[in-house]
A and B are shown apart, each in its own frame.
Chain A
Amino acid sequence: SQQGEEDPQALSIQEGENATMNCSYKTSINNLQWYRQNSGRGLVHLILIRSNEREKHSGRLRVTLDTSKKSSSLLITASRAADTASYFCATVLSGGYQKVTFGTGTKLQVIP
């Protein structure tokens, strides 16, 4: 099974609402990254949080990391229809900084 697992698998919200996605992983990490994928396209990097950080912000994105629970969350505030996409977490294991392994993704639909 994969290192990262996102929850929920799918999420549908109204425009203007907040969207929260969670990622759980199994072993100690160096960092955790979030990516977005629009349908049929390659992934685009959103944010990277290192193991010694607890929270990071980028625009309408807020990422938290709880290494004791081996989990991370991605919050998108005031969602827009353009945020409709799949979101993936990716982990880099401690001592294994070369390998980047992805979770199964959360499919977000924002309804106008």
Chain B
Amino acid sequence: DAGITQSPRHKVTETGTPVTLRCHQTENHRYMYWYRQDPGHGLRLIHYSYGVKDTDKGEVSDGYSVSRSKTEDFLLTLESATSSQTSVYFCAISESGGNEKLFFGSGTQLSVL
């Protein structure tokens, strides 16, 4: 299995609070992605990174920000959590972006009450 760790695995928070999810990789892959998975929507891309300090928006980036200060860590922050952000969040990594396969973490179940 690719070395990807997502933390926390589960989190319950209240509306309006900031939340940060962490994705840590030991593969030294250049590309990292954050997706959210909701019933009926499959996986939707939130943000992705193509190098340290290089990030771009995906399909559903509103309300989310990301940071990548070193190769191995990609942080996803919900600036002010809302109930609509209750979801399962997956991190993925790739050596060469979409040219090759993605490896996925185990996911973070986030509930915003």
Contact = CB atoms under 8 A, between A and B. Distances in A.
Contacts of B48: 98-99
B101 A45 contact: yes
Interface stretch (B14-22, B39-47, B71-79): B39-47
Sorting the interface of chain A by its residue count into under 10, 10 to 19, 20 to 34 or 35 or more gives: 20 to 34
Contacts of B45: 99-102
Interface in A1-28: 2, 4, 6
Nearest to B107: A42
A61 interface: no
B104 A104 contact: no
Contact of B101 (A6, A48, A101): A48
B35 A102 contact: yes
Interface in B33-64: 33, 35, 40-45, 48, 50, 56, 58-59
Contacts of A40: 107
Interface string A73-109: 0000000000000001010100011111111110000
A2 B42 contact: yes
Given A42-B90, A42-B107, A98-B56, A104 B41 contact: yes
Nearest to B90: A42
A43 B58 CA distance: 19
A33 interface: yes
Nearest to B31: A98
B112 interface: no
Contact of B98 (A4, A98, A105): A98
Contact of B43 (A33, A41, A43, A98): A43
A71 interface: no
A35 B58 CA distance: 19
Interface of A: 2, 4, 6, 30-31, 33, 35, 40-45, 48, 88, 90, 92, 96-105
